[in-house]
Each structure stands twice: as structure tokens, then as C-alpha cells.
Amino acid sequence: MKAMIFAAGLGTRLAPLTDSCPKALIEVGGKPMLRRVIERLRDAGVGEMVVNVHHHADMIRRYLEENDFGVRVMISDESDMLLDTGGGVARASILLEGDEPVMLYNADIFTDFPIAEMVAVHERSGADVTLLADSRATSRYLMFDEAGYMRGWKNVRTGEVRSPFHAEVTDRCRLLAFGGIHIISQSAMRDISGYRPGEKFSITPFYIDRCGVLSIQAYTPTSPYKWIDIGKPETLQQAREEYISFKKRTE
């Protein structure tokens, strides 16, 4: 399996830290988040990875060149224009081609969920896309039917619903928060590449538009796990405290 790590974001919520350092190189427990993600994917059997770059692109490029991770790491350069998640996948698609699905992983997610379990669920199901999703509190949710397949999106603050399905379907859906990690088939990746060629776009609208024709399923880990988006000062601090607590428990 190959993987793509999203590391191009501006990290504006973490300013001034990200004024001089890309968010992907912000450290938790003395280790940059990008290294943490690469090592997790490597240890789960991923042999080739693509990292997209934009903000402080040279710093990330230099970091990858100066470190040996034991796997092949390629760069998808978005220096000319930040393409967001969907546009980023479209640009990197030529590097991600192959016979196996691709794992997409946000570099700012501090988590210990079982990657191998998620891969196994995806492979058994034959789904086009598998999304890490759980009942975590947020304002914007993905909507899943009783069988675990995506049927739309909802903003619970405004009541807005986006879905290709009628209300009799979406009204029965459960709401789950997307965890920023997904597995996509090669056919779904080709579909993304043709969605808005050359444009900047988030992958979420693509999933909303295509959930009526693609098999997009939720994956929720069977055991408790950590999940922290380190994109804000308070959550970065939380991740650092979680790491210290874990170290103390295991020493």
C-alpha cells in the first residue's frame, strides 16, 4: 500500500509557531508530527509515501532529504498554489498509481488507532473509500446509514444538510465526525483527479457529491484510542500532555 501525507497547510491557527515552521514539523514529545506519521505508516507496512508541500516547503523538503525513514518518500510540490486535500490528491495521483488502495493521512493528527485494522476492514468490504469516523463532538458531521455507508453531511449549528439522497434517508442517519484519515481505491482516486482538474478543493465536497454512486464507509476502531488534532494551541498542548502521561505510565 502507498500513502499520502497532507503536510502543505498554512497552520494559521498555530501562529506564531507556524510563522517560522510548517505545522507538519511541530514537535510532540520531541518528535515532529511528520516523522510520527511516517513511522506509523512504515510500521504498518506502507512502503511508499507522498508528502505534499506548500507552506515552508523548503523546510519540509530538507527535513525529508536529511533523514532516512526506511521507506521511499516522494514530494508533491504545491509551492505554486495550495490545492487543499482534494486538489492535493489530484496533483499527487500520478505518484500514487498502482494496484492497491492508498491511505490518506493528515500530518496534524496525533493518534494511535490501529492502522492494520482499518486496512483489513477496507479490504474485506470492497468499499471505494473507508473513512476514520467516530462520535467525537464537532459542529460538522458526516451522515451514515445503518449499514455504515455515507449518505451526506450536516452542520448541526445551522441545520444545513448536503446529500444526494432524500430526507427519508438522511433523517435516519447517524452522525459521525471524520478523523482526517481515509483509504481510497485506485478507481476513486481517478474519480477525484477528474472532479475539478487543476483546481483547489477539499475532498469532503467530493465525498458528498459522490456518496450516491461510490461505496464510502465509516470505520470506527473497536478499542479505545487517542485522537487529537494538534492544529490549535490548546490541542497541541493537550497532545504534548498526553504524550508525557503515556511515557510516565510506561516507564
User: What are the pLDDT digits (tens) for 139-166?
Assistant: 999 999 999 999 999 999 999 999 999 9
Distance, in Å, from the CA atom of 50 to the CA atom of 43, rounded to the nearest integer, reads: 16
Taking a C-beta distance cutoff of 8 angstroms, is the pair 176, 110 a contact?
no
Statement: residue 249 has pLDDT above 70? no
Query: What integer pLDDT is reported at residue 17 of this predicted model?
Result: 96
pLDDT tens, residue by residue, 19-34? 999 999 999 999 999 9
Q: CA 100, CA 199: separation in Å to the nearest integer? A: 26
Instruction: Give 43's pLDDT tier (boundaries 50, 70, 90).
Output: very high
- 153's grid cell: 453531511
Reference 41, options 21, 14, 70; nearest CA is 70
AA identity, residue 8: A
pLDDT of residue 40: 97
Distance CA 237, CA 241 (A): 6
User: 112, 13, 5, 105: which is closest to 63 by C-alpha?
Assistant: 5
- Amino acid identity of residue 155, one-letter, is N
Q: What whole-number percentage of the chain has pLDDT above 70?
A: 98
- State mean pLDDT over 109-136: 97
Q: Does 250 score more than 60 pLDDT?
A: no
Residue 245: what pLDDT? 82
Give the separation between CA 131 and CA 234, rounded to whole angstroms. 25
Q: Read off the C-alpha cell for 180.
A: 482526517
Separation of alpha carbons 138 and 234, rounded Å: 16
220 pLDDT above the threshold of 60: yes
Q: Indicate whether 47 pLDDT > 90.
A: yes
